[in-house]
Each structure stands twice: as C-alpha cells, then as structure tokens.
C-alpha cells in the first residue's frame, strides 16, 4: 500500500537509533524506498544502508507515509509538517504509552506489515491555525494539533485580555492565561487545567482558563468552525506568550491581535486495527484502577 516511506526521529535522539535501525532493516528487506528526515536524523549512521537524508521541506513532498519514532512531542512536530501534503502519519512510542504514538517498538514490525497491506485504521483530526498581527502586519502564522496557549511571562502578575468568538464579545478575564484546545489536545495541558475530555471525532474547540481570578470562569466548548480572537486589555502594560503545541512561541503585548481558526486540512493518523481510544483513556488516566 505504501512504497515511499519517511522516517522521523527525536531531535538529538540517539536513544531512538536502535529502533530506527530495526525499522530500516525491516522496510528495506521488503524493497521499500525509505528516506530519513534531515532535521531529526542527520546524525544517524545512514551510510551503511545507502538511504538518503532529505531536508524536511522536500521530504514531505516525496513520501506516502510518515513514521515517527519518538513520543507525542515528536509526533506533534511532524504532524504540522505533513498535514498540508496529505501524508498519513504513524507513531512508534519510545517512552510511556502515548496518546498519539501508540505503537510499541516490541511489535512494530508485525503492525507495520499489517499497515503496508492496508489492514489498519485511519483517523482524521483537526488542527488549528494561529495568526498574530499588529497594526495589520502579520507577525506569526503557525499550526497546532494539540493547543494554543496564551500565558503570562515570568511575572507573578495575572494578565488581562478579551476574547471574541465569531465577532461577538465573550468575556474579559484576569488569569494566568487560557488554552484553546482541539479534541486531540483535550487530554494534554487543557486536562491539567480542568478542561473537558473531548472525543477526537468531534469538530469543536474548548476554551479553558488557567487559574482565573473569578470562580465563575469555566471551560467553554465552541464549534470547530468558530473564529476566536484574543486582545490584550487596554489596561495591559506587560507582555504574554502565545505557545503552539508547547513548541512554537511568540510574544504579545497591547496592540496585538491573535486569531485562531480551524486549519483547512486534517491530519491523517494511522492506528493498528486493535486501537481503541477508550482503552487508551483507561490506560493513561487509570480509570477503573482499584485503590
């Protein structure tokens, strides 16, 4: 089913070389064409296999499937890179059980054989797009699969900002910040901040405040088609961070406008046939454990 395969590892990820080594041997024995991501695999000893290391911008245009060897953070990074090229993505987890990288290295070759025959599950997930502008000049334009977080800087003071949804004023709040989360990200930072767990099949966004000043501020779920705009309040004289997936950061202050929308394309995730999201939730959140 897939003939041209891209492999992505962890940045500075010597710990994943053994897994990539096994992966390469298995795929090359099946006469697959394998390319390595230059951003994350530049130090991998690829010469022994005769496979090419390709810059990511070019790599995503040449492959039919992306295999990520690492953790959920690595998966998030690669997902943002491949989403606009229709490349499905599969994750092999090197640490604890992940929400996104759900295949163990122990049985990855058996699962890969099934995937190559098309015996797997395909799932589509929303991403969100974040644009930050000031004086109508665009300063930041990035994607997020999990969440976008507005967060105070190192100052102990709360930040004050206004939120608008679809051109309608929602509220003004003083807090440590707010998380705008996709269903995928609802089990990440948003969960720690008291947000709802959202089924990944839903087309929604959740707005979750971080340590709000007023107890009446509660998580709010809006349609995925919504346009969210965030403005620092006119009384604001400091600076805050906007963070995408915990990886991409931009500073904002009075005069900045942050616009958050659903991205036009969906990420295509591949799971083994036995994948069950509810089972994953039970394992990660220890639902049903006897105390």
Catalytic residue among 37, 72, 77, 176: 72
**Whether residues 253 and 274 fall in one domain:** no
Mean pLDDT estimate for the chain: 93
- Cα angle 236, 157, 253 (rounded to 5 degrees) comes to 30
pLDDT in tens, 56-66: 999 999 999 99
- Report if residue 248 sits inside a domain: yes
**Whether residues 41 and 139 fall in one domain:** no
What pLDDT is recorded for position 45?
87
**Whether residues 145 and 58 fall in one domain:** no
**CATH number of the domain that residue 100 is part of:** 3.40.50.10330
Q: Does residue 146 surpass a pLDDT of 70?
A: yes
Going by their DSSP bridges, the two strands 204-210 and 177-181 should be labelled as antiparallel
Q: Specify the residue for token string 């990200």.
A: 185
- 37 given a catalytic annotation: no
What pLDDT is recorded for position 236?
73
pLDDT in tens, 73-120: 999 999 999 999 999 999 999 876 678 988 989 899 999 999 999 899
**Whether residues 30 and 93 fall in one domain:** yes
**CATH number of the domain that residue 218 is part of:** 2.60.200.30
Mean pLDDT of 268-288: 91
Q: For residue 172, what are its two tokens?
A: 């003004």
- Report if residue 177 sits inside a domain: yes
Res. 49 pLDDT band, cuts 50 70 90: confident
Give pTM, 2 decimals: 0.92
Find out whether 110 and 92 touch, Cβ atoms under 8 Å: no
What pLDDT is recorded for position 69?
95
Res. 21 pLDDT band, cuts 50 70 90: very high
Find out whether 124 and 232 touch, Cβ atoms under 8 Å: no
Mean pLDDT of 14-36: 92
Partners of residue 260 on adjacent β-strands: 130, 228
Count CB-CB contacts under 10 A for residue 93.
23
- Helices and strands (DSSP H and E) totals, the chain: 7, 19
Domain residues for the domain of 27 are: 4-125+266-285
Q: Does residue 15 surpass a pLDDT of 80?
A: no
Res. 215 pLDDT band, cuts 50 70 90: confident
**Whether residues 180 and 100 fall in one domain:** no
């Amino acid at each position: 089913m897939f003939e041209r395969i891209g492999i992505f590892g962890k940045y500075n990820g010597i710990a994943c070389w053994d897994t990539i080594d096994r992966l390469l041997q298995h795929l090359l024995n099946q006469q697959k064409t394998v390319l390595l991501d230059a951003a994350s695999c530049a130090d991998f000893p690829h010469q022994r296999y005769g496979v090419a290391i390709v810059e990511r911008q070019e790599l995503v245009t040449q492959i039919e499937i992306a295999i990520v060897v690492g953790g959920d953070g690595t998966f998030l990074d690669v997902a943002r890179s491949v989403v606009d090229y229709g490349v499905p993505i599969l994750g092999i987890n090197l640490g604890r059980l992940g929400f996104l990288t759900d295949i163990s290295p122990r049985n990855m070759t058996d699962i890969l054989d099934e995937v190559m025959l098309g015996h797997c599950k395909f799932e589509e997930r929303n991403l969100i797009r974040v644009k930050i502008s000031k004086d109508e000049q665009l300063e930041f334009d990035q994607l997020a699969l999990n969440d976008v977080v507005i967060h105070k800087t190192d100052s102990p003071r709360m930040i004050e900002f206004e939120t608008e949804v679809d051109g309608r004023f929602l509220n003004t709040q003083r807090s440590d910040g707010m998380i705008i989360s996709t269903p995928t990200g609802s089990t990440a930072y948003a969960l720690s901040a008291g947000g709802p767990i959202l089924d990944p099949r839903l087309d929604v966004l959740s707005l979750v405040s971080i340590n709000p000043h007023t107890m009446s501020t509660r998580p709010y779920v809006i349609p995925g088609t919504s346009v969210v705009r965030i403005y620092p309040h006119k009384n604001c004289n400091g600076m805050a961070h906007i963070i995408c997936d915990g990886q991409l950061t931009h500073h904002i202050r009075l005069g900045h406008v942050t616009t958050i929308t659903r991205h036009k394309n969906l990420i295509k995730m591949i799971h083994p046939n036995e994948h069950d999201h509810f089972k994953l939730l039970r394992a990660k959140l220890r639902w049903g454990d006897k105390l």
